[in-house]
């Protein structure tokens, strides 16, 4: 959308553009929304508009910490979580019944918030809290944009898709899963990626992390299980670590709970191999530079991770989290594997299986480059801008 479209909005009064964001519980729902907020704020600033944003979430969700830390007003509503089970009888569990009893309260709270704030548009990014807020937007006749981060359609977004003004999805594969009414106006935007992730420099990683023992003639692997680490990934990497280190440099982000045990293993490595291995509990501001340095990534396959790896064009071996909601991580990984954009370990995850997946990629730079190229073809580094276009277009349509 060009800046002329802003003239359609009530700019003469100087009123800020009002946005309600809802969604959260996990980083997968929270960080794409935050990136969209930052991008919208920057876009509005180019035409002299300001953004008044209110985040509506749960009191104990990640969004309750992230929003205030970013200077965003936050309000909590009551909500309930459906604990899914293949056994229908287990759906009527005491915990489910108790949580569902909170839904009417949350719906009333959400409707009051939307009516009072009177947003130009509501952005819902998933999580159980998005349902009462999204439905309140519909009841109050405010435009609702639903964004789906995963290849599959999350339960909350499945409910909201029929109420949405527009649905934005991260992959064309999601479109057939939408209700027909939503499919007609849905748009593929991709999943917003923090802009800083896209601007890393390999040399800065070497300097910041002191990677002077790394061998520049060997590829570099970045191993990560997310901020808390993954015992599963840590274990299979540990079991083939000496073999890996004869073929690659490794940056291993293991999570704080796993650091001490893995350090004992490092002590047994020959000095030459140990020099090519960095074990750390957490990678913070250096992450963009670490990703820029990495030739191969071993990681989970959450929506945010997939968005970053494809936007950057990184070869990857993906180990899905088996307990992810709706088995979404396995679907994400399988989708990339089918496109030749990653290798997915979808069966039993063993050290031998990891070795078999990694070996051809380490031995053949051309094979890595082809996988990276295919990953990049799946990426949408402009996803945040595309999502902002959708938000602005539905407001323009209401003008």
Q: Quick one: 128 and 218 in the same domain?
A: no
Q: Quick one: 199 and 188 in the same domain?
A: no
Q: Quick one: 236 and 252 in the same domain?
A: yes
The whole domain housing 220 covers 195-378
Q: Which CATH number characterizes residue 211's domain?
A: 3.40.50.2000
What is the pLDDT at residue 82? Answer: 52
Tell the burial category of 282 from Cβ atoms under 10 Å away from its Cβ (0-12, 13-18, 19+).
middle
Q: Quick one: 13 and 159 in the same domain?
A: yes
What is the pLDDT at residue 93? Answer: 56
Cα–Cα distance measured from residue 82 to residue 185, given in angstroms and rounded to the nearest whole number:
28
Q: Quick one: 57 and 172 in the same domain?
A: yes
Q: Quick one: 224 and 295 in the same domain?
A: yes
Q: Quick one: 186 and 235 in the same domain?
A: no
Return phi, psi of residue 331, to 5°.
Answer: -65, -45
Q: Quick one: 140 and 229 in the same domain?
A: no
Query: pTM above the 0.95 mark?
Result: no
Q: Quick one: 95 and 29 in the same domain?
A: yes
What is the pLDDT at residue 35? Answer: 97
Tokens of 31: 């960080």
Q: Quick one: 186 and 208 in the same domain?
A: no
Q: Give yes or no for a contact between 161 and 178, defined as CB atoms under 8 angstroms apart.
A: yes
Give the count of domains, the chain: 2
What is the pLDDT at residue 217? Answer: 97
Q: Quick one: 253 and 131 in the same domain?
A: no
pLDDT tens-place values along the chain, 399 residues long: 444 445 445 444 578 999 999 998 888 899 999 999 999 999 999 999 999 999 999 999 999 999 999 999 999 999 866 544 455 545 445 554 455 556 788 899 999 999 999 999 999 999 999 999 999 999 999 999 999 999 889 889 999 999 999 999 999 999 999 999 999 999 999 999 999 999 999 999 999 999 999 999 999 999 999 888 999 999 999 999 999 999 999 999 999 999 999 999 999 999 999 999 999 999 999 999 999 999 999 999 999 999 999 999 999 999 999 888 778 899 999 999 999 999 999 989 999 999 999 999 999 999 999 999 999 999 999 999 999 999 999 999 987
Q: What is the DSSP letter of 276?
A: T
Q: Quick one: 264 and 207 in the same domain?
A: yes
What is the pLDDT at residue 5? Answer: 47
């Amino acid at each position: 959308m060009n800046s002329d479209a802003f003239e359609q909005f009530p700019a003469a009064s100087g009123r800020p553009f009002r946005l309600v964001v809802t969604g959260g519980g996990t980083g997968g729902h929270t960080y794409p929304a935050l990136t969209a907020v930052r991008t919208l704020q920057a876009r509005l600033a180019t035409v002299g508009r300001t953004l008044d944003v209110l985040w509506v979430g749960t009191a104990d969700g990640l969004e309750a910490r992230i929003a205030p830390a970013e200077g965003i007003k936050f309000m909590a509503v009551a909500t309930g979580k459906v604990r899914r089970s293949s056994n229908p009888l287990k759906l009527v569990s005491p915990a489910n019944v108790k949580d569902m009893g909170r839904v009417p309260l949350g719906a009333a709270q959400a409707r009051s918030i939307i009516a009072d704030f009177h947003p130009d548009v509501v952005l819902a990014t998933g999580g159980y809290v998005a349902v009462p807020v999204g439905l309140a937007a519909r009841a109050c006749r405010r435009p609702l944009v639903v964004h789906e981060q995963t290849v599959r359609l999350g339960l909350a977004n499945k409910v909201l898709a029929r109420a949405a003004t527009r649905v934005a999805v991260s992959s064309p594969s999601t479109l057939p899963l939408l209700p027909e009414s939503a499919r007609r106006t849905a748009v593929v935007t991709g999943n917003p990626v923090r802009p800083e992730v896209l601007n890393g420099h390999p040399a800065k990683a070497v300097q910041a992390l002191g990677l002077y023992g790394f061998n520049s003639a060997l590829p570099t692997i970045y191993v990560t299980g997310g901020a808390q680490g993954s015992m599963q990934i840590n274990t299979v990497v540990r079991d083939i670590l000496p073999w890996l280190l004869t073929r690659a440099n490794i940056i291993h982000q293991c999570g704080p709970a796993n650091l001490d045990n893995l350090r004992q293993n490092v002590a047994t490595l020959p000095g030459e191999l140990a020099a090519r291995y960095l074990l750390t509990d957490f990678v913070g501001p250096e992450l963009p530079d670490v990703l820029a340095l990495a030739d191969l990534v071993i990681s989970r396959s959450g929506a945010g991770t997939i968005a970053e790896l494809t936007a950057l064009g990184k070869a990857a071996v993906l180990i899905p989290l088996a307990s992810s909601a709706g088995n979404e991580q396995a679907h994400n990984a399988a989708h990339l594997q089918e496109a030749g954009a990653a290798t997915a370990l979808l069966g039993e995850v063993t050290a031998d299986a990891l070795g078999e997946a990694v070996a051809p990629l380490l031995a053949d730079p051309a094979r890595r480059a082809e996988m990276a190229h295919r990953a990049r073809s799946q990426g949408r580094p402009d996803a945040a801008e595309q999502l902002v276009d959708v938000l602005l277009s539905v407001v323009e349509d209401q003008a």
